[in-house]
Amino acid sequence: MSLRIGDDAPNFKAQTTLGEIDFHQWLGNTWGIIYSHPADFTPVCTTELGRTAQLKDEFAKRDTKVIAVSIDGLEDHKKWINDINETQNTKVEFPIIADTDKNVATLYNMIHPNFSTTATVRSVYFISPEKKIQAIITYPASTGRSFTEILRVLDSLQLTAGHSVATPVDWEVGQDVIISPSVKQEDVEASFPKGHRVIKPYLRYTPQPNK
């Protein structure tokens, strides 16, 4: 059965490039992102892992831990990290799971048989501090991920988790957001003291509450 938004994020124990972890314990009370790679020493993955390392401070600002999964072993992972650091001018300091038995890939539905019975697709799971799956993005192996979009989704998830708002199309941090339909009009002024504007009764904008 595939995982869906709102499901519990499966826990597991695994060997990583930073030692053995219990996934839920490793996450602690932070947000988390777990994402998969088809294999080590592959070109697109090399750029993605390098970009993740370059964005270390951005993920830290968002109190988010990132972990990658590949079905290859630890020794290959460690050799690959050397290549990533060299070619992407960075330093990989986040863990990469050695998923040789495909346990994690199976738990997180990262192997799609119609694509490949062995290699994982490019799945990204966003996990809340409550260990719930909040968003899922899946790309084919041939398409590199947009980490601008990954950060944008993370910002939206963290904002909407704490406020009764939604983010509109192409939203970026600092732009107006949409007031949730669950907020009655008579309660809007008290709930959103920065002000609001009504386009339609169901379409009400307010400045981003946490900025």
pLDDT 10s digits, 90-123: 999 999 999 999 899 889 988 755 455 455 567 8
pLDDT 10s digits, 34-64: 999 888 899 999 999 999 999 999 999 999 9
Question: Residue 71 — pLDDT band, cuts 50, 70, 90?
Answer: confident
Check pLDDT > 60 for residue 165. yes
HEC string for the chain? CCCCCCCECCCCEEEECCEEEEHHHHHCCCEEEEEEECCCCCHHHHHHHHHHHHCHHHHHHCCEEEEEEECCCHHHHHHHHHHHHHHHCCCCCCCEEECCCCHHHHHCCCCCCCCCCCCCCEEEEEECCCCEEEEEEEECCCCCCCHHHHHHHHHHHHHHHHCCEECCCCCCCCCCEEECCCCCHHHHHHHCCCCCEEEECCEEEECCCCC
What pLDDT, on the 0 to 100 scale, is given for residue 93?
A: 97
Active site residue 78: no
6 domain-assigned = no
Q: What is the token pair recorded at 151?
A: 């950060």
Gap between the Cα atoms of 156 and 148, Å rounded: 12
Q: What is the mean pLDDT of residues 187-205?
A: 96
Q: Report the CATH number that the domain containing residue 180 is assigned in CATH.
A: 3.30.1020.10
Check pLDDT > 60 for residue 176. yes
Choice among 14, 33, 34, 45 that is catalytic: 45
Its domain, for residue 88, covers 13-144
Q: pTM of this prediction?
A: 0.93
Number of domains in the chain: 2
Assess whether 194 and 126 both reside in one domain: no
pLDDT 10s digits, 117-164: 455 567 899 999 999 999 999 888 888 999 999 999 999 999 999 999
Cβ atoms of 137 and 153 closer than 8 Å:
yes
Check pLDDT > 80 for residue 82. yes
153 domain-assigned = no
Assess whether 54 and 129 both reside in one domain: yes
Gap between the Cα atoms of 57 and 80, Å rounded: 22
Strand partners, 178: 166, 205
